[in-house]
Structure 1
């Protein structure tokens, strides 16, 4: 989780973020039908990000992070806190003719993943006194008896205001998964091979993917710190290692995963 964005304009105008604020994003998103799928589906997407009493929080997809280290108002902020998420991959029947073989492998249980997050963010890096560079790493483990394994996600994020109305953010991520996670979502068992027609495969854990997400905000009120904004997001993830080699991806799906979203956000004071 990065620090709450410091939306600002270059030079003299002081656009430091208000101490307490909550921004809600509502959008329509296009995402792969499953991790590794080549078909896409449109889903509603809601995200929250904000600061209350000096503590930052953020939802990322189906996960929520809370920074329990209070902001100190300095240019370097350390972050630490709990994380909880839900993994819904392949928990329902997939639509589309090309997903028939993956459907034949059966649905997966919903995973509830609990863990933590640590990071550091630097404000005032290159373009202004308000751009932010942040590095973080999260760890989470399934506690619901689904994949019963872990995911480690390092991230590097940079956000900068282009003006009082416009903000851009780029985020680089990777996912490192345990053996049980890889096996749960990307194995093809002998019985599954007969049912689906896909060759047998035993997946091992390790680096699963690397990705990048670009997000832009354009204020409709004239000030990104308040009121309504338009939001656009585009991302690309490349599956690697045994995830890429699994027949679920290599034959039935695609190792290149695109995502996109378009919507609005509103800041509550």
Structure 2
């Protein structure tokens, strides 16, 4: 589970608070004559209109997909809305939403391009046997993202969103394709604390599976792992709990926020059965981490 996900979830989770109403001051007793005074100025809400959030953190997770060796890695993330275009982070990349939601909408839609960079088994391989099989080329994948969101589901400030990313490799495993659906529930627990629950999965085609999960004759000779020929299909499913805490005391005021995550992913089919996972690693993938973000 990439750090970009938990940074994005916690930082973007603040968005429903943009519509939160302010509590009016208590009315004075009827017998008293209140002095004339101007109405209070509305509280600042940086999430209305254009804004940008930048952040970074440390994630502790598997050294490669399917590994049982864990490492800590620092990774940055960015999100925001500029000129009606929403910027959402992805693992090693970004997605753009070019369909702005009308203010106060009950249902919103998203669509736009996405691009990511992956260094899976390109570096940080702790296992000497997997390392002997050879490093893989870092990959750049480009595609599109689309989704739908429903606001104010259980209360005035929560939301449920479903989305899917479809990407093709443009550098690395030729012809590799990934389809990644996800379902997210976001709810504020207070003005400064927010939670996100996310369920996601990954489906890959034969070219992608062959590059990452197969053991070729050359790789077998170099590492001692048995030959294995992978096919496409569902590769993983997982869930994540994300928490965000505003150091300013109100997520709508921007400034610094702390982010935390706990996640679990289960590898499936060839992602689970290949020798890199079944012999040298494990299909159970846990992550934990934390970070800090600044919104302005």
Q: TM-score, normalised by structure 1?
A: 0.92
Where does residue 208 of structure 1 map in the other structure?
A: 235
Q: CA shift at 1:198, angstroms?
A: 1.3
Contact 1:55 1:71 in 2 (8 A): no
Cα distance in 2 for partners of 1:123, 1:191 equals 53
Q: How many aligned residue pairs are there? A: 264
User: What RMSD over aligned residues (CA atoms) do the two structures have, in Å?
Assistant: 2.1
- 1:27-46 to structure 2, matched below 5 A, reads 27-46=57-76
Greater Cα shift, 258-267 or 17-26: 17-26
Distance 1:63 1:177, change over 3 A: same
Per-residue deviation, 1:148: 2.7
Query: Is the CA contact 1:9–1:162 (under 8 Å) kept in the aligned structure 2?
Result: no
Q: Do the aligned partners of 1:4 and 1:56 also contact (CA within 8 Å) in 2?
A: no
Q: Which runs of 4+ in 1 moved over 6 A?
A: none
Match of 2:28 in 1: none
Look up the match of 1:239: 267
Choose the corresponding residue for 1:83, options 108, 114, 129. Answer: 114
Structure 2 unaligned blocks of 5 or more: 1-7, 24-42
- Residue aligned with 1:169, SS: strand
- How many angstroms does 1:110 deviate by? 1.4
Q: Residue 277 of structure 2 aligns to a residue in which SS?
A: helix
- Distance in 2 (CA, whole Å) between partners of 1:41 and 1:132 is 33
Deviation at 1:63, TM superposition (A): 2.1
The aligned residue for residue 17 of structure 2 is 8
Q: Which structure has greater helix proportion?
A: 2
Structure 1 residues 141 and 11: CA distance shift in structure 2, 3 A = closer
Alignment of 1:1-269 (within 5 A): 4-5=12-13, 6-8=15-17, 13=22, 17-73=47-103, 74-92=105-123, 94-95=125-126, 99-126=127-154, 128-225=155-252, 226-268=254-296
Change in CA separation of 1:157 and 1:208 when aligned onto 2, cut-off 3 Å: same
The two structures have a TM-score, normalised by structure 2, of 0.84
Unaligned runs of 5+ in 1: none
